[in-house]
Structure 1
Amino acid sequence: MNDKVALGLLKTGVPGLDTLLGGGLPEFSFNLVAGPPGSGKTTLAHQIMFALATGERRALFFTVLGEPPLKMLRYQQQFSFFDMSKVGPAIRYVNLGENLRTGDFSGVLERIMAEVEAFQPSLVFVDSFRSVVQTAKGGNEGVADLQFFIQELGTRMTTWQATTFLIGEYMHTDPEANPIMTVADGMLSLTQAHEHSTVVRKMRVVKMRGRAHLAGSHNFRITDDGLRTYPRILPPLAADRHPGGMIDRELRRIQTGTPGLDKMLNGGLPQGHMMLVAGPTGAGKTILATNFLREGVAQREKGVAMFFEKGTPRLRNAELADMVQSGQVAVVESRLLDLTVDELIDELEHTLRRTGAKRLVIDSLSEFGLYMAPEFHADLRLSVFRMLSVVAKHGVTALVTIGLDDMFTELRFSQANISYLTDAVVALRYAEVEGQLQKFMSVVKVRGSDHSRDVRGYQITDAGIEVDELPTGVEGTLTGGSVLRAPVR
């Protein structure tokens, strides 16, 4: 008698939701989908229903006082998951409005069971179940009747081996919801957070019996395809780890497309490294990024460019435009002002898989913060860490730019300590030299590799970025004051 009973798991058809549920929805479970009006409860229920319903696994959808079936169907047909051919043979809608007006729970229960016996569904949905609750009589008698009704419904649905969903506008503090929360095997909570003119939707698995589900709140968005959930998890560790790590292996160098910088990197950027290029406006960060992609194209390596404030039409860079139009470089960009980092990571990962890119440019992390929903501003470093973790998992070599304020007397390499998250850092700076504003470049760090410690001057020309062959000799330092004396050539 040591054999364990394995729970059958149903794939919900909602991207990301099965991950939250620990692999899928337990078969024959009794579930509550709760949330305020407009949070996506009915759409979620329909998306699950159309993903699971077949001729052998039929679904019954009971509507109550909220929306008549005809109105509900009109709106749900706008989503791509809706399949009209399933309505009738695999999916049946039943309106319980007339039965509820009497306030007799026994009559409602008998109507539900009569429909279940006639259609023999494997999936049962009741929307909105709060309407059922609100018809209960007042006082202790009404609470007792409601408790009995819920327990009886749950028991009968389990006996019929039906997976059941009760959809309702509940909050965790609702006392009337307590009987349901006690009986339910699983509970999904949908919320909408409104802050600074943006709305971020969140989903939480409050409980799921028998499953090691993901805790915490996870973002989701309603699209033309329905709901898409973005689990807040880091990618798994690489499977190709070797004893001794990279120290025992010779680092393959990647040419950056700027020969002077490659020399300072002792031959190029180590493959798979992420290099942060930090500097003030006009220092040439985007030019370095474009050169990096161009060199990849020359080496027959696909590239991905992620832009924010600078969309491809605004770059006025014919060379980059040609690379994009020819399909050698794919672009990830967004015009949303309430973007969540989860959505951005999902799109970036999809593009990296689709293209098989070897090089990635993110330009820039400063503008990245402008597009994030307000709740992500508080911890920009965590958002960047999650994004760069996904990049590292794909093994691409990346160049990431970040803008800094024009404070020439300070030596800074990033905002929010982001420089700690990257493998290499290149600093671009201005300084006044004999009455002229000149540009200087230095390699701050390269993990696992030696590099030049020189401060080199450079110029932006029609040919790109030209780095001086010899280091700059100065009296004093670049950071001790904004005025540099005569450079030594």
Structure 2
Amino acid sequence: MSNKTAIRRLATGVPGLDAILGGGLPEYSLNIIIGPPGSGKTTLAHQIMFSLATREHPALFFNVLGEPPLKMLRYQQQFSFFNPDKINDAIRFVSLSEDIATGDYARVLARIVREVQASPPGLVFVDSFRSVMYEAQHLPDNTISLQQFIQQLGIQLGCWQTTSFLIGEYWSESVHHPVFTVADGLLSLRQSVHRNSMVRKIHVLKMRGQAIRPGMHTFSITSAGIVVYPTALVLEGIADAPLVAGELRGRERLATGVPRLDEMLGGGLPSGYSLLVAGPSGSGKTILADAFLAEGVRRGEPGVIVAFEQTPSQSWMRALNDMIRNGQIGLINTRPLDLSIDEIVHRLTEVIHRMKATRVVIDSLSGFELAVAPTFREDFRESLFRMFAVLSGLGVTVLMTSELEDRYIDLRFSPYGAAFLTDAIIVQRYIEVRSTLQRVMAVVKVRASAHDKEIRRYEITDEGIVIGDPVIEYEGILGGQPTRTKRRGQDDQGKR
């Protein structure tokens, strides 16, 4: 059996893009980048070009009917990937506007061939290729046809052994032109606007010779350029190297930092578990979550908090804020709205790995839903499932909060139906006793572990949560209006 020809894959320099491409761009491939105006096509092309272009393997960027190179570079230099030292040394821009204006596409092709032969490039870019197609529709009958132009250009690009890119304003739904058939790679960029939010997505429609990651992947345009958040990468790559070995999951018990709560949980929260703390506003969910992180720091267990709620300013929070400033606890502040689920999970996993964190707090699921763009709220429940799978693969112990409206007529733990995904649940409620409002909590479940089933009073003090004794003198507590239990013998006396 003959040996297979190995195809070298080029790292694009775009975070997350190589993962969805299946390892990078195949060398000497013909790639097409399509999308509507403003979707980031030119920025993506420039980012790849500045990353790959060297003096030994220079890049030629042919500008057709778009903006002049100087204007284009004035905007592109705002990105950190822009390197002015590469201009004219490793990157050269060529304007084809005058050649296109003649309507002679044999001349256009000859110009491209001449420029390439003058300084054999490793990369070739044509922006915008659709302009060539549009103008070719108005050619006289005695000139080179568009089909001939495409075929000859494709043959030339293959003979030159260059990695080439054609950029055009096309939508994935309109991919029917022959040029898309001969392409080795096809990347579709799109953006959707819903009310006041905008979401950008990238889809690899095809990439010859390698397995791509299917589906739509969100991306953002930052000061560093384009950043792709590949969903499949998060789900598969992270689970390969969990921070806590799977066989140890649940064996060790973690202290919560709240006296007596560990007893209620059966000796602490099993490591690698996910704990849902559900309760109405003001019941102390965030206080419990912060105590969980602070206790981890005291025991040498770094933590991360994803803050979707407003940071409290109580005196007992100062210690936690100091831990964040000192780098003992990682903080992911999600104040910018219109985030994607994958972006949040991507940022979270990065911090977990960087800090080697073993404790994670998500405060809260209600704020989480508000932080993501409206596009992702339709499948928010599925997104939570995906996030739990990622964190479970990492082996970290997770505490998340969920705000509930205390109706007292039903016992719910999450408005998102996420309770079944968690390993443990603590419920907090208000009750009325003698015209006073009191707080109670109970451990509803701890998977595969015995736990306290009693309902206990608790108070919130300057020191945090203080749990009291079980409420044994009342019944019907979860109904919101408890009644005093009858003492032994009262029923017999009433019957006499």
Normalised TM-score (structure 1): 0.93
Work out whether 1:263 is the aligned partner of 2:283: no
Distance 1:251 1:399 in 2: 17
Q: 1:232: which partner in 2?
A: 231
Q: 1:483: which partner in 2?
A: 481
Give the letter for the 1:49 counterpart.
Answer: M
Q: 2:29: which partner in 1?
A: 29
The Cα of 1:473 is off from its aligned counterpart by 4.5
Q: Is the 8 A contact 1:37 1:169 kept in 2?
A: yes
Which sits farther off after the overlay, 18-27 or 136-145?
A: 136-145
SS at match of 1:133: helix
Give the unaligned 5+ runs of structure 1. Answer: none
Give the letter for the 2:236 counterpart.
Answer: P
The Cα of 1:15 is off from its aligned counterpart by 0.7
Q: Is the 8 A contact 2:408 2:480 kept in 1?
A: yes
The Cα of 1:140 is off from its aligned counterpart by 10
The Cα of 1:386 is off from its aligned counterpart by 2.2
Q: 2:493: which partner in 1?
A: none
SS at match of 1:350: helix
Q: 1:344: which partner in 2?
A: 344
Give the letter for the 1:365 counterpart.
Answer: L
Which sits farther off after the overlay, 57-66 or 307-316?
A: 307-316
Distance 1:324 1:28 in 2: 48
Q: 2:193: which partner in 1?
A: 194
The Cα of 1:325 is off from its aligned counterpart by 2.1
Distance 1:61 1:173 in 2: 27
Q: Is the 8 A contact 1:235 1:389 kept in 2?
A: no
- Note the 1:226-375 alignment, pairs <5 A: 226-233=225-232, 234-236=235-237, 237-238=239-240, 245=247, 251-311=251-311, 317-375=317-375
Structure 1, residues 343-399: CA drift from partner, whole Å, max 9, x if none? 111111111111122222111111111111011111221222222222223322221
- Note the 1:84-163 alignment, pairs <5 A: 84-138=84-138, 141=141, 145-163=145-163
Q: 1:219: which partner in 2?
A: 218
Give the letter for the 1:482 counterpart.
Answer: G
SS at match of 1:443: strand
Distance 2:314 2:79 in 1: 34
Q: 2:46: which partner in 1?
A: 46
The Cα of 1:434 is off from its aligned counterpart by 2.8
Which sits farther off after the overlay, 129-138 or 340-349?
A: 129-138
Give the letter for the 1:486 counterpart.
Answer: R
Q: 1:18: which partner in 2?
A: 18
Distance 1:468 1:239 in 2: 41
SS at match of 2:448: coil
Moved over 6 A (4+): 240-244, 312-316
Q: Is the 8 A contact 2:250 2:273 kept in 1?
A: no
Give the letter for the 1:58 counterpart.
Answer: P
Structure 1, residues 84-127: CA drift from partner, whole Å, max 9, x if none? 11111211110000100111111100000000000100100001
SS at match of 2:193: strand
Distance 1:174 1:143, change over 3 A: farther
Distance 1:172 1:244, change over 3 A: closer
Distance 1:428 1:22, change over 3 A: same
Distance 1:66 1:240 in 2: 48
Q: 1:185: which partner in 2?
A: 184
Distance 1:277 1:19 in 2: 35
Distance 1:64 1:243 in 2: 56
Distance 2:171 2:440 in 1: 58
Give the letter for the 1:235 counterpart.
Answer: E
The Cα of 1:297 is off from its aligned counterpart by 1.9
Q: Is the 8 A contact 1:137 1:143 kept in 2?
A: no
Normalised TM-score (structure 2): 0.92
SS at match of 1:135: helix
Q: 2:434: which partner in 1?
A: 434
Give the letter for the 2:482 counterpart.
Answer: L
The Cα of 1:78 is off from its aligned counterpart by 0.9
Distance 1:28 1:488, change over 3 A: farther
Work out whether 1:8 is the aligned partner of 2:8: yes
Give the letter for the 1:194 counterpart.
Answer: V
Distance 1:158 1:208 in 2: 16
Distance 1:418 1:235 in 2: 22
Give the letter for the 2:188 counterpart.
Answer: S
Structure 1, residues 249-295: CA drift from partner, whole Å, max 9, x if none? 87111110112211101111011211110000111101101211121
Give the letter for the 1:204 counterpart.
Answer: H
Give the letter for the 1:310 counterpart.
Answer: Q
Q: Is the 8 A contact 2:243 2:358 kept in 1?
A: no
Distance 1:442 1:63, change over 3 A: same
Give the letter for the 1:111 counterpart.
Answer: R
Structure 1, residues 171-215: CA drift from partner, whole Å, max 9, x if none? 24548x602112211111111100011100010111111121112
Distance 1:454 1:313, change over 3 A: closer
Q: Is the 8 A contact 1:63 1:127 kept in 2?
A: yes
Q: 1:67: which partner in 2?
A: 67
Q: 1:465: which partner in 2?
A: 465
Distance 1:138 1:71 in 2: 28
SS at match of 1:92: strand
Q: Is the 8 A contact 2:365 2:403 kept in 1?
A: yes
Give the unaligned 5+ runs of structure 2. Answer: 488-496
Q: Is the 8 A contact 1:16 1:231 kept in 2?
A: yes
SS at match of 1:469: strand
Distance 2:145 2:314 in 1: 65
Q: 2:491: which partner in 1?
A: none
Distance 2:85 2:333 in 1: 37
Distance 1:266 1:142 in 2: 86
Distance 2:208 2:215 in 1: 16
SS at match of 1:45: helix
Distance 1:325 1:184 in 2: 51
Q: 1:412: which partner in 2?
A: 412
Q: 2:379: which partner in 1?
A: 379
Q: Is the 8 A contact 2:61 2:126 kept in 1?
A: yes
The Cα of 1:457 is off from its aligned counterpart by 1.6
The Cα of 1:441 is off from its aligned counterpart by 0.9
Q: Is the 8 A contact 1:472 1:488 kept in 2?
A: no
Give the letter for the 1:484 counterpart.
Answer: P
- Count of equivalent residues: 484
